[in-house]
Structure 1
Amino acid sequence: MILEYKGVEITESVSIYRCWHDMFAQDKADMLTIMFDDIESLWDNWNPQSGDEIVVKNDEISTGTMYVHKKTMRGRFYTLIAASAPLSSNVNRSKAWQDVRLLQIGNEIAEIHNLDFKSFGVENVLYSYILQKNEPDFTFLNRICALEGCAFLIYDKALILYSIEYMENMESADEILLDEQSKYQLFDTSGLRYGTCKIVKGKYRGAYDAQNGSNKLLIPNMQFDVSSATDAIRFAKNLLIRENNSIHDGFFYTGNIYPAYTPGAVLDMQIARIPSWDGRMVITAIRNDYIADKSKVFFRKIEVAKNDR
């Protein structure tokens, strides 16, 4: 394992007790928790500051550039908490966005935070008006993504915006069999599936019925602007799909850290004795333990017959 701090490799200068890298496909920035046995008060003397850059590499795996957000001290242990999002991501902003396209919003937010911008499979829809009111940029962007069936992640100084449906249709990154020796858990919450989503915003109304046999009604409680009935229907569909996406999910443990296992990647999975779960799964989050060289991989099942589409 290689540790770089502020662009300098310091692997041989420290004694690392714990190193966890939590990666997320959406909703959260990646997090790094690294704990040092600081018996000689080395880190206290170095006095790391919030915003300092830190990178951990392990063969083909890397955290990418992370930014220190928090530090804690207890006894001889010194802990740094870093995130893939820079400190500026915590700042609230207000802006009335007018006659702007989705990719323009993503690109402008990336520029504000000194990030590169990439997109995959995203429909570049036009908004006549969207209000960002006293909220962090990435909270605002996450809200738009929910409405548009998209998500984003931040990795190695880049903001990556992608269509969830586009990623689900990508070629599988790997095949995996969970058998009697595997450590895993599966969760079936299909009884909570919603059948219809309705949106009423001012004079505009929209609804989407998944025709999945459920009579549960989803009425979104998030704040957003609607400029047409077409918007309302599109938002209703995407919010319903998002709400129903994780009714079959779970996690499993690996004995090693695999480069192919990244958030958003698709796996072809077979589960011994539970063939109803066989199929394609999307990785939603991963915890890589660089000291133990193992991972906890969270996933959700892509339904074979999905009327929500």
Structure 2
Amino acid sequence: MTQIFYEGTEISADVELSDLKVTDSCGDQADGIDAVFANSENQWSGWKPRKGDTLNIIHDGYRSGSMWIDRIRQETGTIQIGAVSIPTGGKTKQTRAWEKVSLITIAAQLAKEYGMTVKFLSVPNEVYSRVDQMGRGDFGFLRERAALEGCSLKIQDSELYLFSDVWLEGQPSVKTIDAADFLESPRFSDSAGETYGSCSVSWGKTGAVYTDSGGIGPELSVTDYPVSSAGEALRFAKNLLRNANKKGVTGEISIPLDTTVSAGNVIEISGTGLNDGKYLIDAAQHSFAEEISRFSLHQCFTRF
């Protein structure tokens, strides 16, 4: 049974759910809820949903976590509601600066400002002489800074997770999925079109280049971030190159609904031949009406 909580109140008995998809994401995107409700008798008129209100889904032990409504669409007989895990105001452009600060300190400050707790998983504690946030939303800015240190972030149920990509991809597999388990035709891609052979980071006369010995493609040139030393430039170049190349092999698969598998999990794929191996799940979309789980994933990157 699916339980629906609006602003902390269970409303399952008061509304009729037609379609429900919950997307659990890791790194680039926020988690999301996409729900369609029957509204032929104006069942939602008493609740009057508004952007910024919270929506939470529980299904047989699975919890989406509270998300903030950011889309409402009403059509004849239905109402569609979308929600995301990024707090209201998280995309508002901000300008500010820090001095003698680390990524951990910045993340902890932003989490506190939004009333979130924070967890760090193998995050380096390098100190920068100065960091400027120039007209960027807080979480987009934090995501960029995390990438410089080879890290990604996830926001779930008012908790901010910041983790090392190398650490995450090195975790043991939680499940082996065989090709015989696929419900829809899988799609795998091994493309050099968006990969690079090297990355250069420079600021003024200070800079460095990192080369991927197994990489294919041009040099990624980055001149957007101030660096205080050649060592810092080299560290940024290595991490940005890994971030650009880690999704050289990607895939999309679907299996019978399995909410025990989530974004950020490592799985083994077997039975495909060419594309067998260890993959990290970038996004897990659970479609409760269809009883299907769809995964977007990439092969774990091991060159550096």
TM-score range, shorter chain: over 0.9
Decide whether the 8 Å contact of 2:196 with 2:216 is kept in 1: yes
Q: Give the secondary-structure state (helix, strand or coil) at the position aligned to 1:291.
A: coil
- The aligned counterpart of 1:285 is 283
- The aligned counterpart of 1:161 is 162
Aligned length: 302
1:2-151 map, 5 Å: 2-151=3-152
How far the C-alpha of 1:215 sits from its partner, in A, is 5.3
- The aligned counterpart of 1:219 is 221
- The aligned counterpart of 2:207 is 205
Distance 2:263 2:215 in 1: 31
Distance 1:209 1:114 in 2: 41
Output one character per residue of 1:157-204: Cα deviation in whole Å (capped at 9) or x when no partner. 101000000011111111111138653111110354311111221121
Tell me which amino acid in the other structure corresponds to 1:227: S
How far the C-alpha of 1:41 sits from its partner, in A, is 1.1
Q: Give the secondary-structure state (helix, strand or coil) at the position aligned to 1:190.
A: coil
How far the C-alpha of 1:258 sits from its partner, in A, is 3.0
How far the C-alpha of 1:213 sits from its partner, in A, is 5.8
Decide whether the 8 Å contact of 1:66 with 1:84 is kept in 2: yes
What is the Cα-based RMSD across aligned positions, in Å? 1.6
How far the C-alpha of 1:60 sits from its partner, in A, is 2.5
Distance 2:278 2:169 in 1: 8
Unaligned stretches of 5+ residues in structure 2: none
Matched, 1:248 2:249: yes
Decide whether the 8 Å contact of 1:131 with 1:225 is kept in 2: no
Distance 1:39 1:118 in 2: 44
Q: TM-score w.r.t. structure 1 length? A: 0.93
Decide whether the 8 Å contact of 2:54 with 2:67 is kept in 1: yes
Unaligned stretches of 5+ residues in structure 1: none
How far the C-alpha of 1:156 sits from its partner, in A, is 0.8
How far the C-alpha of 1:44 sits from its partner, in A, is 2.8
Tell me which amino acid in the other structure corresponds to 2:276: D
Q: TM-score w.r.t. structure 2 length? A: 0.95
CA 1:19 to 1:180, structure 2 compared with 1: closer, same or farther past 3 Å?
closer
Decide whether the 8 Å contact of 1:218 with 1:240 is kept in 2: yes
Output one character per residue of 1:109-158: Cα deviation in whole Å (capped at 9) or x when no partner. 11111111111111111111111011110011011111111000100110
Matched, 1:187 2:200: no
Q: Give the secondary-structure state (helix, strand or coil) at the position aligned to 1:231.
A: helix
Matched, 1:264 2:267: no
Decide whether the 8 Å contact of 1:190 with 1:248 is kept in 2: no
Q: Give the secondary-structure state (helix, strand or coil) at the position aligned to 2:146.
A: helix
Percent identity over the alignment is 27
Matched, 1:301 2:299: yes
Distance 2:122 2:182 in 1: 38
Distance 1:262 1:119 in 2: 19
How far the C-alpha of 1:90 sits from its partner, in A, is 2.0
Distance 1:6 1:150 in 2: 32
Q: Give the secondary-structure state (helix, strand or coil) at the position aligned to 1:200.
A: strand
Tell me which amino acid in the other structure corresponds to 1:287: Q
Tell me which amino acid in the other structure corresponds to 1:189: S
Q: Give the secondary-structure state (helix, strand or coil) at the position aligned to 2:90.
A: helix
Distance 1:149 1:128 in 2: 19
